[in-house]
Amino acid sequence: MSDLLRHRPGYALRRAANAMMADLAGRLALIDLRIAEASVLLLVADRADATASDIGRTLDIQRANMVPLLTRLEAAGLIERRPLDGKSQAVLLTPSGRARRAEADAITTAFEADLLARIAPEHRDHLVPALDRLWSHP
């Protein structure tokens, strides 16, 4: 039955995204992180000026979802918030957060290498620009 839809790019893209995100989620679960949590750790890195709003905008996470996400990371001892100016707080990695970020970086790097290995070599350089075109240029 699914063979009837395989030629449709939207269907193929959804199936590929679901399969790849399930794979990545499983890998990150080994270090007790969700994809969004790992993304925050990777994004914040050594920055001292990243705010929750900046992170939310970059990762396309709504404010209502950003608050519990940062609360989980803070409760786990991976981030801390410090005043940045009169109204904003910077999201910073703790020493534990830096260690977990390094683990998440190694996992995502291996995941991405495995993902690219599934793509024919002549198409690898075009994959990310093609995907970027789909989401950043409506």
Residue 137 has pLDDT above 80, yes or no: no
Residue 3 has pLDDT above 80, yes or no: no
Q: What is the average pLDDT score of the chain?
A: 93
Predicted confidence at residue 101, as pLDDT, reads 98
Predicted confidence at residue 138, as pLDDT, reads 62
Predicted confidence at residue 2, as pLDDT, reads 56
Which domains are seen in the chain, by residue range?
2-112 (1.10.10.10)
For the entire predicted model, the pTM comes to 0.89
pLDDT in tens, 57-70: 999 999 999 999 99
DSSP the chain: -GGGTTT-HHHHHHHHHHHHHHHHHHHHHTTT--HHHHHHHHHHTT-S--BHHHHHHHHT--HHHHHHHHHHHHHTTSEEEEE-SSS-EEEEE-HHHHHHHHHHHHHHHHHHHHHHHTS-HHHHHHHHHHHHHHHH--
pLDDT in tens, 67-118: 999 999 999 999 999 998 878 899 999 999 999 999 999 999 999 999 999 9
pLDDT in tens, 83-92: 988 788 999 9
Predicted confidence at residue 24, as pLDDT, reads 98
Please tell me which residue, 1 or 18, carries the higher pLDDT value.
18
